[in-house]
Amino acid sequence: MARRSLDGLIVGDWSFCAPLEATVAETIKHFAACCGPNERRVCELNPHEFVEQVIERHAAIDAGDWLQPLFCRAGDSWQLCKFEVLYRLHDARGVPFPSFVNFVRAASDQSPSPDSDLRESFCNHALASMQRVDARISKLDSELRAAMASAGVLTYLNFTAKQLAAALATPVQNPHLLALEETEYDDEPEGLAEMRHEAWAKFGAYSLDDVKPTLAEVEEELLGGGGAGGELPSAAAAYRPPECPRGHPYKALSRKYSHDLAFANRFIADFEAARGSHPEAQADLKLDEEFCCYLLGVGHAPFSRASMAAWRERHPDVSAAIRSLGVRLIRRALQAGMCVCLEVTFCDEDVSWLLEAVPQLEGRLLKQGGLSGALALPQSLMEDALLLPGSKCAPPRFEPM
């Protein structure tokens, strides 16, 4: 099933244009240039201080509800097709680091002993974000909302598996314009398959975030799927991770990971079952940056191409095994009716081999961030900046912050 195209969509008196990747990048980079860095004091807050001084006081622009664009290919160009809500304070380039990362870790199963108060704060923040995003969408012109719904322009919000029940119980006005992404931060709760089915029935889409293989899965692939009882080929036994320019490990494969390929295949099976009762259900499989490094040879770091090329030359068998795992997973997702999103900025040449190996991916491949990378824009600016009707979406003026 191909993605619906925004190009030339007309609803009522509205002519809804889908901004091209270059236009979106120009707009977001223009805004980012007006942003200052996050305060060092905020970046150094401990998790409880971060909740009290930043989240509860709504210290961030739009209370932290910023949008990153995702793109799908239309002919020879890439067009805006959806948004993902990312947390930002004042800096369009990233979260307050390490305070926000430490908060999420302490509030989830990423920690060996999650803090119960922080876990509650994390869930409440996610729910409040969804309701704020929904309220801003409700303020858009009704014909613009109709155009977005017709074109499938959804706004995705991140929830952990253990936050999903609360998300399903939270009332929203525009569920068909909202979508959820299941993040990897929490372990799988009981009844997850049933909750996923509810999510596909309620929201515009429900997707799986940050999928990547484990070292154990790669070793099994090298053994020909025969399990760990055999003897590993010398190439796998000699595996060393890629290196950054200073010689430190870069994107090393983990032995265990919650959103591994086995977990992704169970998600796909749940989606297939849900489509039996909800044929309109939508889902994307999102491949983590680390997976994209091994699959495409490109990540976020400026040295990623050189590092991955050198690694592939040293480990051709392991590289081929990871590509084989990736192609097989992508085919499985496409057969189920899903789309596939690569969470890196890539060039068409980077995916030409993948499209040749999986021709069905044409029209169902998404890229996250595109030319604007990890930059995001406050949700309250998105309508004027990128969703204006007409044939041209010109960048608005932004005042320095």
pLDDT computed for residue 230 by the predictor: 57
Distances (CA, A) of 96 to 110, 111, 162: 18, 19, 24
State pLDDT tens for residues 152-189: 999 999 999 999 999 999 999 999 999 999 999 999 99
- CA atoms 103, 108, 113, 117: torsion sign: positive
pLDDT single digits (tens) 54-104:
999 999 999 999 999 999 988 889 999 999 999 999 999 999 999 999 999
CA-CA distance, 87 to 64, in Å (whole number)? 5
- Per-residue pLDDT reduced to its tens digit, 184-216: 999 999 999 999 999 999 999 999 999 999 999
How many CA atoms lie within 13 Å of 145's alpha carbon, on the beta-carbon side?
15
Q: What is the pLDDT of residues 242-259, one digit of tens each?
A: 999 999 999 999 999 999
Alpha-carbon dihedral angle through residues 266, 268, 269, 271, given to the nearest 10 degrees: 130
- Phi, psi (5° rounding) for residue 355? -70, -30
**pLDDT of 259:** 98
pLDDT above 90 covers a percentage of the chain that reads: 82
Contact of 89 with 64, CB cutoff 8 Å:
yes
98: number of Cβ within 10 Å: 12
| Whole-number Å distance between alpha carbons of 131 and 156 | 12
> For residue 5, is pLDDT > 50?
no
Bridge partner list, 11: 14
Residue 10's pLDDT band (boundaries 50, 70, 90)?
very low
**pTM, two decimal places:** 0.91
Round to whole Å and give the CA distance between 131 and 266: 29
* 302-339 per-position pLDDT tens digit: 999 999 999 999 999 999 999 999 999 999 999 999 99
H, E, C per residue of the chain? CCCCCCCCEEECCEEECCCEHHHHHHHHHHHHCCCCCCCHHHHCCCHHHHHHHHHCCCCCHHHHEEEEEEEEEECCEEEEEEEEEEECCCCCCCCCCCHHHHHHHHCCCCCCCCCHHHHHHHHHHHHHHHHHHHHHHHCCCHHHHHHHHHHCCEEEEEEEHHHHHHHHHCCCCCHHHEEEEEECCCCCCCCHHHHHHHHHHHCCEEEEEEECCCHHHHHHHHCCCCCCCCCCCHHHHCCCCCECCCCCECCCCCCCCCCCHHHHHHHHHHHHHHHHHCCCCCCEEEECHHHHHHHHCCCCCCCHHHHHHHHHHHCHHHHHHHHHHHHHHHHHHHHHCCEEEECCCCCHHHHHHHHHHCHHHCCCEEEECHHHCCCCEEHHHHHHHHCCECCCCCCCCCCCC
- The whole-angstrom separation of Cα 291 and Cα 207 is 17
Would you say the C-alpha torsion 214, 215, 218, 220 has a positive or negative sign?
A: negative
Is 361's pLDDT higher than 90?
A: yes
225 pLDDT tier (thresholds 50, 70, 90): low
